[in-house]
Amino acid sequence: MVKLDTMRQRKIKENIKLKGGLRKIKSAPRNDIYIILDNIKSMENVGAIFRTADAMRAKKIYLCGITATPPRNKIFKVSMGAVEWVDWEYESSAKRIVQKLKEDRIQIAALEQTDKSIDFRKAKYKKPIAVVLGHEKNGVSKEVLELCDFSVEIPMYGTANSLNVATSAGIILYQVLSEVSDH
- Give the phi and the psi of residue 151 in degrees, each rounded to 5: -120, 145
All structural domains of the chain, each given as residue ranges with its CATH number in brackets, are 7-180 (3.40.1280.10)
> pLDDT at residue 143 above 90?
yes
Helix ranges (H only) for 36-164 are: 43-55, 73-79, 94-103, 142-145
DSSP state of 82: G
Pairing of strands 58-64, 118-119: unpaired
Return the pLDDT at 181.
77
Of 128 and 27, the one with more pLDDT: 128
Given strand 107-111, what is the order of strands in its sheet? 88-91, 58-64, 31-38, 129-134, 107-111, 150-153, 118-119
Average pLDDT over residues 35-42: 97
pLDDT digits (tens, 9 = 90+) for 59-116: 999 999 999 999 999 999 999 989 988 999 999 999 999 999 999 999 999 999 999 9
Confidence tier at 131 by pLDDT (50, 70, 90)? very high
Q: Spell out the residues 6+ positions from residue 80 whose beta carbon is closer than 8 angstroms to its own.
A: 12, 51
> pLDDT at residue 42 above 90?
yes
Name the CA dihedral angle for 140, 146, 148, 150, rounded to a multiple of 10 degrees: 90
